[in-house]
């Protein structure tokens, strides 16, 4: 019998974020089902968890016993209905497409129990739209994790006008069990983290574009001058230029603020396939 807030968790989407979320939930003692649409994707997700844990063992941060226990708590499937049916908490971490997220929550709301909490890891989309038409919206909440999930301390909880206090309390409690510090933010475009983080990244690109300084020096300004762990250009490379461009375009429309206008340089780099770390080239060569 688990003493975690949510004994059974379904994580939908086994990419970088989904794998990380599955790992921290399993580390907290939950039984986790990690789901994606192909066997290849779920295998890759599980491999990612195994590699992260192994690195933790190698660095003396994770015991061999914990590594084995965490992996034993994660099962995989390509069937999202099967993944969600028994869950106390469903967290989706599928691509940032509103119709995709909304469609799966509408589908799953009729399958899970009435008390099952539905969480979305969207980094900026409107939660009201993500959960539009979902039965019992009191149990719906944004659960925005940060990459790399096992290391980043923040969990940004996003409440809509219909999210219940009970849901917020349960997820806040679980966030602490995951070793995270929760903040509670109103459902507004980009929440607290993406609105500020993307704004900084876009301005850094504009500065590079207009020759204010080199990428290295712009990043050093924030790392050494402001104590950021990583400069905004390097971070954009890590997150993916395409991912950040999509967020910028969304925030530009939703917030109607000129600061979110994506720089031409960013559009050109994305069009040229320079997406950052995942493509081998961004503001840096990887």
Q: How far is the CB of 156 from ligand CAA (least distance, A)?
A: 9
Judge whether 164 and 141 are in contact, CB under 8 Å.
no
- Asked if 69 is part of the footprint of ligand CAA (rule: CB under 6 A), the reply reads no
CB of 24 to ligand CAA, least distance (A): 11
Given the complex with ligand CAA, which of 87 and 143 has the nearer CB atom?
Answer: 143
Q: Does 225 bind ligand CAA (CB under 6 A)?
A: no
Residue 123 near ligand CAA by CB under 6 A: yes
Query: Is the Cβ–Cβ distance between 140 and 134 less than 8 Å?
Result: yes
| Shortest Å, Cβ 58 to ligand CAA | 8
The answer to the question of residue 97 lying near ligand CAA (CB under 6 A) is no
Exposure string over 62-79, b if 16+ CB within 10 A, otherwise e: beeeebeebeebbebbee
Q: 30: number of CA atoms within 13 Å, CB side? A: 28
Residue 235 as a binder of ligand CAA (CB under 6 A): the answer is yes
Distance in angstroms (rounded) separating the CA atoms of residues 150 and 169:
22
Query: CB of residue 17 vs ligand CAA: minimum separation in angstroms?
Result: 7
239 near ligand CAA (CB under 6 A): yes
The reply on whether position 198 binds ligand CAA by CB under 6 A is: no
146 binds ligand CAA (CB under 6 A): yes
d(CA 270, CA 19): 25
- Counted residue by residue, the chain has a size of 286
Per-residue mark of binding to ligand CAA, 264-283 (x: CB under 6 A): --------------------
- Taking the mean position of all CA atoms in its chain, how far away is CA 73? 21
Can you tell me the distance from the alpha carbon of 83 to that of 256, in angstroms, rounded to the nearest whole number?
39
β pairing state of 31-35 and 140-144: unpaired
d(CA 220, CA 48): 30
Taking the least distance from each CB to ligand CAA, the nearer of 148 and 259 is 148
Give the count of residues interacting with ligand CAA (CB under 6 A). 19
Exactly one of 7, 71, 78, 148 binds ligand CAA (CB under 6 A); which one? 148
Structure tokens at 183: 């903040």
Give the bridge partners for 276, in sequence order: 281
Which string of x and - marks every residue 49-68 that binds ligand CAA (by CB under 6 A)?
---x--xx--x-xx------
Could you list the residues that contact ligand CAA (CB under 6 A)?
52, 55-56, 59, 61-62, 123, 146-148, 150-152, 194, 197, 229-230, 235, 239
């Amino acid at each position: 019998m688990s003493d975690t807030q949510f004994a059974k968790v379904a994580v939908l989407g086994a990419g970088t974020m989904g794998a990380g979320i599955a790992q921290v939930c399993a580390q907290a003692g939950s039984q986790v089902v990690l789901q994606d649409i192909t066997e290849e994707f779920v295998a890759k997700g599980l491999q990612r968890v195994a590699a992260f844990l192994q690195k933790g063992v190698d660095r003396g941060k994770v015991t061999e016993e914990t590594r084995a226990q965490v992996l034993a708590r994660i099962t995989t499937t390509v069937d999202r209905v099967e993944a969600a049916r028994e869950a106390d908490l469903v967290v989706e971490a599928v691509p940032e497409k509103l119709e995709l997220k909304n469609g799966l929550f509408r589908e799953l709301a009729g399958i899970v129990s009435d008390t099952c909490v539905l969480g979305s890891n969207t980094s900026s989309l409107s939660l009201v739209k993500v959960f539009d038409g979902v039965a019992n919206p009191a149990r719906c909440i944004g659960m925005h994790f940060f990459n790399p999930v096992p290391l980043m301390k923040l969990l940004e909880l996003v409440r809509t006008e219909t999210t219940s206090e009970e849901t917020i309390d349960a997820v806040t409690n679980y966030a602490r069990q995951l070793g995270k510090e929760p903040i509670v933010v109103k459902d507004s475009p980009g929440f607290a983290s993406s609105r500020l983080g993307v704004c900084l990244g876009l301005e850094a690109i504009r500065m590079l574009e207009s020759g204010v300084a080199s990428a290295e020096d712009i990043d050093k300004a924030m790392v050494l001058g402001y104590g950021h762990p990583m400069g905004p250009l390097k971070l954009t490379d890590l997150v993916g230029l395409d991912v950040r461009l999509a967020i910028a375009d969304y925030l530009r429309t939703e917030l109607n603020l000129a600061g979110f206008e994506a720089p031409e340089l960013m559009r050109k780099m994305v069009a040229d396939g320079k997406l950052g770390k995942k493509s081998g080239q961004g503001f840096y060569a990887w």
